[in-house]
Amino acid sequence: MKRLICIPAIVAILFLTSYSCGNKKARKNTAQTTEQAAVSTEPKWTSIFNGKDLTGWTIKIPGHELGENFGNTLRVEDSILKIRYDAYGSEFKDRFGTVYFDKYLTNYRLKVVYRFVGETAPGAPTWGYRDSGIQFHGQPPVTQKIDQAFPVCLEYNFHGGNGTDERPLGAACTNGMFIEYNGEKNTTTCIAADIARTFHGDQWVTAEIEIKNGVIAHFVNGKKILTYSNPTYNPANEMAKKLMDGDDTKVKGGYVSLQSNSHPIDFKSIELIEF
């Protein structure tokens, strides 16, 4: 006996199948659109060192006018920013230099790839051995006095190992400022990183700082090693007091700079994301 198939039933089945496939396709398209939107709004790194010269940066070396590159201390060779002291003679004379990025910054992430090379400059202090750093939330370059060794700032300190001893990098150091670490105001100039990492030899190291609404984190080779917060100016520091907004000690932003601290160092890349 032949079965009769109801035409309306067939139509209903085709409709439901079409509707279901359409729904799945619509959901897939919506998911793809959402994913594409997320990718397009993801912050992207911008290089702030062009690999050719120091356009966009300003040099300050104690005893010399702003912009004067004494002894060709900072030079760009082979697409690398190099800091050298071959023109300093036998006495370093505390000429701790600074090279500022020419933009006031507030919330951002900065990444540099660096390595220590060679020997410490003759006449430099012993602590200058494989020592440098990223300075940030710094005073405007034009306000740095001609004989001022270091700007009012915070610092992500770089240390390099001597091949034997542990010499961790990543400490948070302060000059003319205070910070809060584990909820308490610092009482020492530097606070060591929570995770100690020492890098020996002339290997490349990636260091990053991230600043978001007063919370600051240090990273090395992608791993977070220290977090602290709420930087404030020290009113007892003459220069810091000039940077305050009336009686408000809160540090809202500042300038990023790299240290010329008496040991040769190379910077292969310097990148920035602003939030």
Residue-by-residue pLDDT tens, the chain, 275 positions = 444 444 455 444 444 455 555 555 555 565 555 555 555 577 899 999 999 999 999 999 999 999 999 999 999 999 999 999 999 999 999 999 999 999 999 999 999 999 999 999 999 999 999 999 999 999 999 999 999 999 999 999 999 999 999 999 999 999 999 999 999 999 999 999 999 999 999 999 999 999 999 999 999 999 999 999 999 999 999 999 999 999 999 999 999 999 999 999 999 999 999 99
Helix, coil or strand: residue 21: helix
Residue 171's closest CA among 211, 111, 218? 218
| H-helix segments, 42-123 | none
For position 11, what pLDDT does the model report? 43
pTM of structure: 0.85
For position 33, what pLDDT does the model report? 54
User: 102: which 2 tokens?
Assistant: 């020419």
User: 20: which 2 tokens?
Assistant: 């279901």
Residue 204's closest CA among 77, 81, 111, 113? 113
Contact assessment for residue 229 and residue 166, using Cβ atoms and an 8 Å cutoff: no
Cα dihedral angle (126, 127, 131, 134), rounded to 10 degrees? -140
For position 41, what pLDDT does the model report? 74
For position 1, what pLDDT does the model report? 46
For position 219, what pLDDT does the model report? 98
Residue 169's closest CA among 178, 161, 177, 180? 161
For position 42, what pLDDT does the model report? 79
